[in-house]
Amino acid sequence: MKEATLNPDRLPRHVGIIMDGNGRWARKNKLKIAMGHRAGTEALREIIRNSSDIGIEALSLYAFSTENWARPKPEVDALMSLLLEFFRSEIDELHQKNVRIRILGEKDALPPQQRLALIAAETRTFDNTGLKLNIAINYGSRAELARAARLLAREVAEGIRLPDSVDEAAVAGLLYTAGLPDVDLLIRTSGEMRLSNFMLWQCAYAEFVFPKKLWPDFTLEDYHLCLAEYQTRSRRYGKREEE
Ligand code: FPP
């Protein structure tokens, strides 16, 4: 196994992960799809723990998209149960590690048990100052942007904002990620190379890494290889390299 050497001074501030490949992993191992998602949750635990240990500022995970409701009901139910189980089993340790949990997405449309567990996790960890762990659930980036536009339109209609004051900072301040740095590194596993409506605004200048492994097979070593790959990239933000 190749070991990555990481420069602790050049870690990405914000890592986004699209955890793709649970379904293919389950098929490959002749297991039910729910087992793929369960194995995916296991893989996730280690990545969260390590991100906190090495001092990543923010980690955003795509757990359930607004489009995922269209999957077969047993799969949606399995994902909802896993989410609940995850929050119930991990919250004590995450809180102990000073992790602040934030949910990206529309919580109101979730089943009551899940909604309450997510709100409880956000409330309990609100004052924590360690890793900012963002979990996107019932999340879609276009819906997030439309929501920000709606909130701004409302402020203008109510006379508390001038139309010309709507700038990038005003939009960013009304996204679920308000106050967080932009995504520096976006990882999508399983070899697929697309954003699938994940953090379109926040990834404007992100570096992309697309490891081939299916998410449940993604290890800490793989994660560190992605971080090392990020450290080789030259980030110019549309400008010229320094002379
Ligand atoms: C994509 O794999 C993965 C998902 C739609 C769900 C991701 C969820 C988890 C890893 C577990 C639950 C999350 C938390 C935070 C506890 P896919 O099923 O689309 O894979 P495929 O493309 O191979 O079918």
- Ligand 1 neighbours by CB, cut-off 6 Å: 19-24, 37, 40-41, 44, 61, 63, 68, 82-83, 86, 135, 190, 215
- The reply to whether 236 falls in a domain is no
Domain total for the chain? 1
Determine the residue of 17, 20, 80 to mutate for testing ligand 1's pocket, defined as the one with the most ligand atoms within 8 A of the Cβ atom.
20
- The reply to whether 59 falls in a domain is yes
- The reply to whether 243 falls in a domain is no
Per-residue pLDDT tens digits of the chain, which is 243 residues long: 567 889 999 999 999 999 999 999 999 999 999 999 999 999 999 999 999 999 999 999 999 999 999 999 999 999 999 999 999 999 999 999 999 999 999 999 999 999 999 999 999 999 999 999 999 999 999 999 999 999 999 999 999 999 999 999 999 999 999 999 999 999 999 999 999 999 999 999 999 999 999 999 999 999 999 999 999 998 888 887 765
pLDDT of residue 73: 96
Q: Considering only CA atoms, which residue is closest to atom 18 of ligand 1?
A: 23
Ligand 1 centroid–CA 176 distance in Å is 21
Residue type, 132: K
pLDDT of residue 237: 81
Q: Is the pTM of the predicted complex or chain greater than 0.85?
A: yes
Is 29 one of the annotated active-site residues of the chain? no
Q: Catalytic residue, from 50, 68, 128, 197: name it.
A: 68
- The reply to whether 161 falls in a domain is no
Domain that holds residue 226: 8-140+182-230
* CATH code for position 35: 3.40.1180.10
Side-chain half-sphere exposure of 240, counting CA atoms within 13 A: 2
- The reply to whether 125 falls in a domain is yes
pLDDT of residue 239: 82
Interacting residues of 180 by C-beta distance below 8 A, sequence separation 6+: 14, 58, 132, 134, 202
- The reply to whether 237 falls in a domain is no
- The reply to whether 147 falls in a domain is no
C-alpha 38/C-alpha 184 separation (Å) is: 28
- 26 CA: nearest ligand 1 atom: 23
pLDDT of residue 242: 61
Q: Considering only CA atoms, which residue is closest to atom 11 of ligand 1?
A: 41
C-alpha 131/C-alpha 65 separation (Å) is: 23
- The reply to whether 160 falls in a domain is no
Is 138 one of the annotated active-site residues of the chain? no
